[in-house]
Structure 1
Amino acid sequence: MHTAPQKFSRALTALAALTLAAGSAHAAAPSYVGTWASDLAQCKVPQERPEAPLVLQEKRFDQYETHCTFSSAEGAGDEWKVKANCQVEGDAQAYDFTLTVSGDTLTLTDDAGSQDLLRCR
């Protein structure tokens, strides 16, 4: 027979385990997730226009007619090395780049150099 304190203790332990499991299932998104633009006016441009902003999700990005799926995104915090498979205007291309976040600025660096983008609100 279980006493009331034992039952309470077991219930508390089960609740703590469920809370931890739920918390790990909803880990925070990487710092690069969001919509990014060269200036804040670009944030309002729709994706069907060539000058659309860059929309980064955890495992992909889209910008106008460029759609990429990440085969790997290694890093943590504010710097990520990404390997992606892209469709650019219908052509398949591999694309490797680095994303670095500092406050509301994202620096995208690839073989062509680096570009700073601002976080859209």
Structure 2
Amino acid sequence: MPTALVIEDDDDIRRLLEVVLQQEGFSVTTAANGTDGLAALEREAPELALIDVGLPDMEGYEVVRRARANARGRIVMLSARTQEADVQQGLDAGADAYLTKPFRPQQLRSDLRRILEGTDAG
């Protein structure tokens, strides 16, 4: 079973992402902040990590920078920040893709499938 990690501080969004990923066949681990998320990334080595930009203890960009060196799976940033500069900063930090909130679960599933297949870089 493929594994996924969701690093998201909003409880409702974190639970929704967990459900969507489980419906796609992932075993899901979650974290509510960057510190716990980095520890989980090291411990779990997931095939997919969804990382929010606005975390309570550090920017998601920093989580991606720290994780990128050792991450073996795809890293996707998920944020309400939609400016081109924000997207570029996420990709420059090492994310494979940058998706925006709000999202519809069906569209998220489709986007994640493309990303995991390697046909979408952002």
- TM-score normalised by the chain length of structure 1: 0.31
More RCO (CA 8 Å, sep 6+): 2
Query: Which structure's residues are more often helix, by fraction?
Result: 2
* Larger of the two Rg values belongs to structure: 1
- TM-score normalised by the chain length of structure 2: 0.31
Query: Which structure's residues are more often strand, by fraction?
Result: 1
